[in-house]
Each structure stands twice: as C-alpha cells, then as structure tokens.
C-alpha cells in the first residue's frame, strides 16, 4: 500500500496560482512567473526545393510571403514587467530579415534546400547566441502550412 496523502488537498481555495505540477524539479517558492513572448516577422522570398521528385510543384521556382515567429521564454522581470523588450527581438532579427527579404533563398549559404524546417533551423542557429531564452521558432510559408522548431534536445 502506498501511503501518499496530499496534505494540500484541504486548502482548496487558498492558492489561486497553483498549477498542475508538471514541472520537473523547480523550487517555485519565490521564482518569478515565467512567460513566453513572441514577435512575428514577415518577408517575401523565392525558392524551389531541389530534392523533391521532378514533377513536384515545389520544384518549380515560386515565392511565398513567409512569416517567422520568434519566441523567447523567461521570468517576467519585476521592474520592467516584461520578459524581454520586443525591440531586442526585432534588433536581433533585423540582419536576418535583410538577408532573406526579396532574395532567392536557395542562394543563401545554409539554405540550399530551403524548406520551412531548414529555414527554422537556420534562423535558430543565428538567433540563439543573441536571444537568451529563445525557445521556439515558427516558420509559415502559407496561411495553412508551417513548421515549429524548438531547438535540438
Ligand atoms: Zn514553397
């Protein structure tokens, strides 16, 4: 028999901030609440996918209005009241936008096969050193098609 009583169960209405303890092992006594913020960017670009079968439509040169979301997770700082300044995300993304916008993606180093997945990884590799807390990149190439990348491991 397991003798596991949860002694907290009697205090039903006292703790309004309790969340299901799915977190691994964190001492969340005085930990400031964590949140994820994101900023979305858009760019126009052309590409083709060189590795698909000859008749595949993605093998033909075409363009998309790509959208990329950059998600950053961290504690909400007490003084500022934010996780990160949105402007800092924009500043980190700006040089990448310059490289991508109105370019032929296949010509960019590292994007020889510019799928959404490879584009998400490409962005991650260039942003992770500048954005502490980078936790997710979403790339959309159409309104209904996209990719979510959360880094390796
Ligand atoms: Zn495409």
pLDDT-based confidence at residue 4 (cuts at 50, 70, 90): very low
Q: Is residue 120 part of a domain?
A: yes
Q: Is residue 74 part of a domain?
A: yes
**Distance between CA 140 and CA 117 in Å, rounded?**
10
User: Which residue, chain included where needed, has tokens 């909400």?
Assistant: 76
What is the CA(46)–ligand 1 centre distance, in A? 8
Beta strand 34-47 with 62-75 is antiparallel
| Host domain of residue 127 | 34-149
Q: Which residue among the candidates 44, 62, 102, 117 is catalytic per the annotation?
A: 102
Coil vs helix vs strand at 7: helix
What is the CA(51)–ligand 1 centre distance, in A? 13
pTM: 0.79
Q: Is residue 12 part of a domain?
A: no
Question: DSSP alpha helices (H): ranges in 15-143?
Answer: 86-100, 116-127
Q: Is residue 79 part of a domain?
A: yes
**Average pLDDT, stretch 38-66?**
97
**CATH code of the domain containing 71:** 3.30.479.10
Q: What is the per-residue pLDDT for 141?
A: 96
**Distance between CA 47 and CA 1 in Å, rounded?**
62
Q: Which residue among the candidates 34, 58, 103, 135 is catalytic per the annotation?
A: 58
User: pLDDT at residue 129 above 50?
Assistant: yes
pLDDT-based confidence at residue 8 (cuts at 50, 70, 90): very low
> Per the structure, how many domains does the chain have?
1
């Amino acid at each position: 028999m397991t003798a596991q009583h949860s002694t907290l169960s009697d205090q039903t209405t006292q703790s309004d901030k309790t969340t299901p303890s799915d977190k691994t092992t964190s001492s969340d006594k005085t930990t400031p609440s964590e949140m994820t913020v994101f900023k979305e960017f858009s760019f126009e670009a052309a590409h083709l996918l060189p590795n698909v079968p000859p008749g595949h439509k993605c093998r033909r040169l075409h363009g998309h209005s790509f959208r990329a979301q950059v998600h950053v997770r961290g504690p909400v700082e007490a003084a500022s009241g934010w996780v990160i300044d949105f402007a800092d995300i924009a500043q980190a993304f700006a040089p990448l936008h310059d490289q991508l916008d109105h370019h032929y993606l296949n010509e960019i180093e590292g994007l020889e096969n510019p799928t959404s997945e490879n584009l998400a990884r490409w962005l991650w590799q260039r942003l992770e050193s500048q954005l502490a807390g980078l936790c997710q990149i979403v790339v959309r190439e159409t309104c209904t098609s996209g990719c979510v990348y959360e880094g390796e491991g």
